[in-house]
């Protein structure tokens, strides 16, 4: 069995030292468990500050932010999917996931392909879209990477599954307008939709799907939906962080992925 810790936070704007301490707190709090993989949300160190996205940009090696995460990985002997930070490469900025192994080494990174430019989002004004899908071979299995708005593009997930992903991990900052977030019925509808689309991606691609999201206030007129999830290849929701800051833990059986792909290999068929 593989132990997964999925962390959901409400990041403070442009206070990476505060946000990183939150991450460390939740890992330490769960360090008595079998920690094989820890997953962090999109913009976990800075929050969604559209006007200052590049202020805390890191270099291609991840800078101080990823150095901190690398030290946590070594200290707690766990893999960490650190997603995302703003990475500067040459003249371009990318919304980038860093994958760190138990030894604190960077084993790969994924630059978000599908940027969000709707309902007040302006990612394409700042970021360059990534060009390549990414799977990473880890000591627990093959991990496919996606980020937030990528979930609206199902062919990306099919490509990751066909590339051998046992788990697809997607850091998110899934934002909805406050007028929806602050209405109980509208929020429930939005969260039900979110769960449904995540379950569909897991089921169609016969993978475990892990979504780590921000929660609560995320800007002047938007809030993050929370609802960080761990979903089985059968589409069963194994863990749901709901609305609060915190971390959800579960153990998953990757033999299920291999079993379902062997008896009904629909994810491998175009």
All structural domains of the chain with their residue ranges: 2-264
Q: What is the pLDDT of residue 17?
A: 94
Give the closest residue to 95 by CA, choosing from 125, 118, 64, 138: 125
Q: Are strands 229-231 and 237-240 parallel, antiparallel or unpaired?
A: antiparallel
Q: What is the pLDDT of residue 120?
A: 63
Q: What is the pLDDT of residue 56?
A: 87
Report whether CATH 3.60.110.10 matches the domain 2-264.
yes
What does the alpha-carbon distance between residue 209 and residue 144 come to, in Å, rounded to a whole number? 9
What does the alpha-carbon distance between residue 39 and residue 47 come to, in Å, rounded to a whole number? 16
Q: What is the pTM of this model?
A: 0.95
Q: Are 232 and 209 in contact (CB under 8 A)?
A: no
Residues lower than pLDDT 70 in the chain:
119-121, 218-221
Report pLDDT digits (tens) over 152-165. 999 999 999 999 99
Q: What is the pLDDT of residue 219?
A: 61
Q: What is the pLDDT of residue 161?
A: 94
Report pLDDT digits (tens) over 160-184. 999 999 999 999 999 898 899 999 9
Q: What would you measure as the largest C-alpha separation in the chain, in angstroms? A: 50
Give the count of alpha carbons within 13 A of 118, CB side only. 8
């Amino acid at each position: 069995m593989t132990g997964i810790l999925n962390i959901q936070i409400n990041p403070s704007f442009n206070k990476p030292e505060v946000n990183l301490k939150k991450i460390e707190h939740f890992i330490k709090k769960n360090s008595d468990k079998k920690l094989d993989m820890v997953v962090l949300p999109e913009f976990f160190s800075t929050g969604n500050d559209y006007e200052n996205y590049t202020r805390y940009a890191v270099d291609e090696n991840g800078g101080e932010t990823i150095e901190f995460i690398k030290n946590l990985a070594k200290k707690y002997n766990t893999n960490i999917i650190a997603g995302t930070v703003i990475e500067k490469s040459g003249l371009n900025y990318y919304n980038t996931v860093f994958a760190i192994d138990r030894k604190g080494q960077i084993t790969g990174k994924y630059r978000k392909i599908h940027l969000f430019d709707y309902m007040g989002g302006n990612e394409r004004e700042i970021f360059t879209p990534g060009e390549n899908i990414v799977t990473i071979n880890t000591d627990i299995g093959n991990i496919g990477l996606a980020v937030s708005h990528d979930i609206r593009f199902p062919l990306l997930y099919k490509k990751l599954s066909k590339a051998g992903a046992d788990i697809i991990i997607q850091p998110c900052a899934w934002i909805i307008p406050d007028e929806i977030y602050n209405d109980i019925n509208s929020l429930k509808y939005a969260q039900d939709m979110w769960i449904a689309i995540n379950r569909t991606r897991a089921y169609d691609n016969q993978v475990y799907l892990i979504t780590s999201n921000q929660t609560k206030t995320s800007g002047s007129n938007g809030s993050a939906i929370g609802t960080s999830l761990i979903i089985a290849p059968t589409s069963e929701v194994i863990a749901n962080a709901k609305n609060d800051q915190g971390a959800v833990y579960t153990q998953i059986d990757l033999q299920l992925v291999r079993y379902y792909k062997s008896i009904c290999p629909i994810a491998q068929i175009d």
